[in-house]
Amino acid sequence: MMVVMSNFRDKLKDGVAQYGIALDDDRLYKFYLFYELLTEWNKKINLTTIESENDVIIKHFLDSLFPVLFEDPGNWGTTLDLGTGAGFPGIPLKITYQNLNLTLVDSTKKKIDFLNHVIKELNLENITVIHGRAEELGINANFREKFSVVISRAVAPLNTLSEYCLPFVKTGGKMIAYKSQDIENEISEAENAIQILGGKIKNVSRETIPLSNIGRSIIIINKVTNTPDKYPRRNGVPKKKPLK
Ligand code: SAH
Q: Could you tell me the CATH number of the domain that includes residue 42?
A: 3.40.50.150
**Per-residue pLDDT band at 3 (split at 50, 70, 90):** low
Q: Decide: 107 in ligand 1 pocket, CB within 6 A.
A: yes
Helix (H) or strand (E) holding 138: none
Give the CA count within 13 Å in the CB-facing half-sphere of 129: 25
CA of 152 from ligand 1 middle (Å) equals 9
Q: How many domains does the chain have?
A: 1
* pLDDT greater than 90 at residue 181: no
- Segment 188-216 mean pLDDT: 97
What tens digit of pLDDT does each residue of 77-136 get?
Answer: 999 999 999 999 999 999 999 999 999 999 999 999 999 999 999 999 999 999 999 999
Question: Which domain covers residue 158, as residue numbers?
Answer: 2-240
The confidence score (pLDDT) of residue 25 equals: 94
Give the sheet arrangement for strand 169-180, strand by strand: 127-131, 101-106, 78-82, 147-153, 169-180, 215-223, 199-208
Q: Decide: 85 in ligand 1 pocket, CB within 6 A.
A: yes
The confidence score (pLDDT) of residue 162 equals: 98
- State what percent of residues in the chain have pLDDT above 70: 98
Q: Decide: 167 in ligand 1 pocket, CB within 6 A.
A: no
Going by C-alpha positions, the residue among 170, 177, 85, 74 that lies closest to residue 131 is 85
* pLDDT greater than 90 at residue 203: yes
Take atom 26 of ligand 1 and give the residue whose Cα is closest: 83
C-beta separation of 62 from 16 below 8 A: yes
Q: Decide: 105 in ligand 1 pocket, CB within 6 A.
A: yes
* pLDDT greater than 60 at residue 1: no
* pLDDT greater than 90 at residue 4: no
d(CA 88, CA 58): 12
3-class SS of residue 204: strand
